[in-house]
Structures are given as structure tokens and as C-alpha cells.
Amino acid sequence: MESDAGLVQVTNFRGGLAVDNDLDHAERHSDEAVDLKLIFKEFIEHFRVRNDHLYMAMLRGNLAAGIYFVEVEMSHLQQFSGALFDALHTYPTKALPLFEHAVWELAQEQRLLPPLGRQNSIQVQIYWSIPPTSLRLLAQASVARLVCVSGIVVKVSACHARCVRAAIQCTSCSSKTFINGGRSIDLPPNCLENGGRGPGAGPAGPGGGGQRRCRPNPYTLLPMECEYEDQQIIKIQELPEDVPTGELPRHVTVVVDRYLVDRVSPGSRVQIAGIVSVQEKRGGIENGSKGGSKGSRSAAGLRAQYLRCVGLKSITAQKGWGSVQKCETKI
């Protein structure tokens, strides 16, 4: 009788192997992503308003003018496909990158992109003509969901560049590669081309071509070869007519990027479509502690709420939520 030692199979409560279930789950999500991209490409290419291909004409015109974005109305998405609307409303952080990649693929298929252009993304801006949610109710909204709010701009920061794709170079073998950027960039501890595969690779790693392994922590950042995007932080406050009697107005921080920057100034009334997000609070600052360590421990679980803007309108009239117009893009 053969021994079964070491052959362990973990099952879930629904039956079947857990590993197979995870693979099926991943494949299902991959298929859903492909389907969403295909449907969104059909939406951009075929959606019509009074026999005019609204979004295809907008895409052609914007790319011809050198501006890489397209403005999408949520009501049009809902008319064309409930799946697109539900995905963007419920999972905007996953759906929006898929939509932007779909638009980029469509532009490549239609040969709308310049042959030597460095731009590698097209921004999808979302506009939602519904009664906006009160800033007082944002705490009840689910994190990472799409919401629509309105307010008056009280503070605007200077525009700054945020690294979205970092170029790094090994100081030992001079190989270059790219990694994802963000608020902080974590450099790989080992060379990815030569000797970055652990001690088992030997003195000549599989990717080293017979050369000696590179030293630990060999990478340096190449700032002039990184890819950046514009980013700006604004703060909006409740409209005066929305503040209950005897209450102080609420405010929220909004992060805008790419073609949404430099569109508003303090005093502007705006309507924003954004994704409810959170970030970690800094212990010593928010808690007013001077020592830092005690305040950091007390604030370890605290998160500050903000909105990641995906669409911005300027309110031109004080009556009614529908009297809005899209801000003009500055080129």
C-alpha cells in the first residue's frame, strides 16, 4: 500500500478542490474583464445620438488635437449596457482601467494615434447627471464606489508631477527596466536580469549570460526616463444652501489628475464624480501629539477619507442640480 504522506488536499465547504476553485475564480474574472473591454469598445464605436456617433467623433477630434481623453455620460452607459454601468458604479477602481485600455486599443485599431507619440494612455472622464450625494452622507457610502457630489472649491494646490512608471538601472550590469510608480517607489533588492533569482542561480544567473552576479540593492532611479502624470489636490466644501441651520459646513479632499487639473479655482461651484477612497493618517500630526510614537500607535487604525476625481463639472446656476456644464479643457 502506497503512503499518502505529504499528499494533502484542501477542500472548501461547497465541495471540490480549493485550488481548482481559485483557478476557476481567476479565469472567470479574466473572462469578465475581456467581456467588459469588448462591450466598452462597442459602446465607444457604435453609440449614437440622433444618428451621430458621439463618442467615436469625440475620440477622433480629441486625438487629432493632441488631447488624450474622452468624456462619457453615465446615462449613456446605462442605456447601452447595464453590465458596463453596474461594473463602473460598483467596482470603478477595476472597471475604469479596463475602459481606458479598451479605448487605447480602439484608437490603435483605427490608427488614430501618432506614430512617434510618447503618450500611452487615454483618460476616460465620467459625468453623472443625477442629484448629488451630500458630503455629510459620504461616510455611509461604501469605499471604492463611484459617487456624485457637489460643493464649492475652497482650496487648490499647485499642480505637481506624479511618477506612474519608474525607469531604473542596475549599477552593476547597466540593464534597464521599468516598474510601477506611485506615492513611493520600492526598488527591487536584486538585479532582475542577472543574479536576481536567489542563491540557487549560482555565480552566473539564468539571465546573466555567464556574467558574475550583481551586487545586492543595485538599482538607481532614472528621473529623466520615468513617466509622469499631472496631479492636483483640491478641497471642496458644502454649498451654503446645503448646510443645515446651526451646523458648520463639511468639506472633503479631492484628488484630480491628468486632464482634470487646473480646471477650477477657489470659489468655483463644482459637481464631481469620484471614487470614495481612504488613506492612512499620520499619527503625530492629526492627533496633535508632540512625541510622535504614542500618537502613531493611537492613529494606527485611522484612515482619512478623500475622493479620487474621475469627472468634473462647473455649476453655472445656483438653482437645481441639473444646471451644470463641463469645464473647458485648457490646452
- Angle at 310 (CA atoms; ends 308, 311), nearest 5 degrees: 125
Q: pLDDT, tens digit, for every residue of 159-202?
A: 999 999 999 999 988 999 999 887 778 899 999 887 654 443 44
What residues does each domain of the chain span?
27-127, 135-162+229-281+304-314
pLDDT at 116: 66
Cα(87)–Cα(95) distance, integer angstroms: 6
Q: Which three cell numbers stand for residue 321?
A: 442640480
Q: For the segment 27-75, what is each residue's pLDDT rounded down to a tens digit?
A: 666 778 889 999 999 999 999 998 899 999 999 999 999 999 999 999 9
118 pLDDT higher than 80: no
Q: Mention the CATH class of domain 27-127.
A: alpha beta
pLDDT for res 198: 41
Which residues fall within 8 angstroms of residue 208, CB to CB, at 6 or more apart?
173, 193, 194, 195, 201, 214
The CATH class given to the 135-162+229-281+304-314 domain equals mainly beta
Q: Has residue 19 got a pLDDT over 90?
A: no
Q: What confidence category does residue 114 fall into, taking pLDDT thresholds of 50, 70 and 90?
A: confident
What band does 299 get if pLDDT is binned at 50, 70 and 90?
low
Q: What angle do CA 20, 25, 28 make, to 5 degrees?
A: 125
pLDDT in tens, 228-284: 999 999 999 999 999 999 999 999 999 999 999 999 999 999 999 999 998 876 544
